[in-house]
Amino acid sequence: MRTNSVKNKFFTREICVCAHLTQTRYAQKTCAEMRNIMSRITGVAAIQMKCSRNVLENIQTADRLVRKAAEEGANIILLPELFERQYFCQERRYEYYEYARKTDEDEGVKHFTKVAKELRVVIIVSFYEKDVNQLYNTVTVIDADGTNLGIYRKTHIPDDHYYQEKFYFVPGNTGFKVFDTRFGCIGVGICWDQWFPETARAMAVAGAEVLFYPTAIGSEPILDCDSMPHWRRCMQGHSASNLVPVVAANRIGVESVEPCEENGEQTSSLKFYGSSFITDNTGDIIYQAGRDEEEVIVHKFDLDKLAYDRLSWGLFRDRRPDIYEKAIRKEL
């Protein structure tokens, strides 16, 4: 429904403007010029940061960078995945279950609810959620007035060497969602979700104008490869095939496991490779952070122009969900 409302709203305005060009003070202007007059400009930002073992310190770092992003014109700001702590999924320890909190009890969520209202920006906050006996990898979207617009729970949960998330999280049950913020309709996937085209397509069909992916990804000690270019290309493809910008925020730094009896004296470390980025609506990278530096990257988009481009290309017009459904049934 959201997709149709976005398209119809814009299409109606386009027809009205063009039909009355000769009767208004814009009589000499083209439809393209009129689109510029009607534009909705929204600034988006990705925060790239190093995470320490101290929760308060991480929140303070994130706060400083969020304020910098707002000063540079960002209206919607993305924090990295599970930024309140180092990436505890590198090892398996039952005591880490205690990190999980209800949404309104999480320290990061509480802090950035106040900051969003103060700065009048939208902030996407990743946290470890507890819901009775279930634990989730979750994001909440806080609107520019401090309102919590709801949560999304990570759908795809990895279980690989040193990315042992199935030990900590159950698969999300929210389904893919979009959030109508003050500055536009957005979709949010979480890290491993970004490798699956279904995630991006579901959010785009639901009306997302920009896709956001909080991330915690780095070295692959067992595979012995640099996954960064592959990781980045996946999301560039989602952007290009859905004609929406993508914003990805990753952490940086080396995080090491301290051996103890509970984790079987495991010794390991991950080097998170940063490289946070923003694409345009064709998948081309506009801004990319480095691999080792704390950074804030910001870009402004004309959401009405992006909506017009999506209509013009006809990708959503020519989709065949009826055929896809038959193929999926065969797969099942």
Say if residue 15's pLDDT is above 60.
no
Length of the chain: 332
Mean pLDDT of 226-231: 96
CA 143 vs. chain centroid, Å, equals 15
Q: Alpha helices of the chain — where are they, by DSSP H?
A: 2-19, 31-37, 55-71, 107-119, 197-205, 228-242, 303-313, 321-331
Confidence of residue 148 (pLDDT cuts 50, 70, 90): very high
Catalytic residue among 84, 91, 129, 154: 154
Write down the pLDDT at residue 30.
Answer: 52
CA 113-117-120 angle, to 5 degrees, is: 130
Catalytic residue among 51, 191, 255, 305: 191
Lowest mean pLDDT among 82-91, 208-217, 263-272: 263-272
CB neighbour list of residue 293: distance below 8 Å, 6 or more residues apart:
48, 252, 274
Catalytic residue among 14, 50, 51, 81: 81
Angle between helices 55-71 and 107-119 (to 10 degrees): 20
- Is-catalytic flag, 185? no
- Is-catalytic flag, 68? no
What own/partner pairs with CB < 8 Å and gap ≥ 24 does 171-178 have? 172/136, 172/137, 172/138, 175/202, 176/152, 176/202, 176/203, 176/206, 177/150, 177/152, 177/203, 177/206, 178/2, 178/203, 178/206, 178/207, 178/208
Percent of the chain with pLDDT over 90: 80
Domains and CATH numbers, the chain: 40-302 (3.60.110.10)
Pairing of strands 210-214, 246-249: parallel
> Tokens at residue 75, please?
């209206």
- Is-catalytic flag, 81? yes
Lowest mean pLDDT among 27-31, 43-47, 297-301, 328-332: 27-31
Cβ atoms 261, 91 nearer than 8 A: no
Amino acid code (one letter) for 210:
V
Which DSSP string corresponds to 101-165? B-GGG-HHHHHHHHHHHHHT-EEEEEEEEEETTEEEEEEEEE-TTS-EEEEEE-S---EETTEEG
CB neighbour list of residue 55: distance below 8 Å, 6 or more residues apart:
84, 85, 107, 108
State the Cα–Cα distance between residues 92 and 224, nearest whole angstrom.
22
Among the listed residues 88, 84, 87, 82, the one whose alpha carbon sits nearest the alpha carbon of residue 107 = 84
CA dihedral 139→144→145→150, nearest 10 degrees, is -20
Against a cut of 0.85, is the pTM above it? yes
Q: What is the pLDDT of residues 270-296, one digit of tens each?
A: 999 999 999 999 999 999 999 999 999
Q: What is the pLDDT of residues 94-126, one digit of tens each?
A: 999 999 999 999 999 999 999 999 999 999 999
Whole-angstrom Cα Rg for the chain: 21
State the Cα–Cα distance between residues 151 and 153, nearest whole angstrom.
7
Write down the pLDDT at residue 209.
Answer: 98
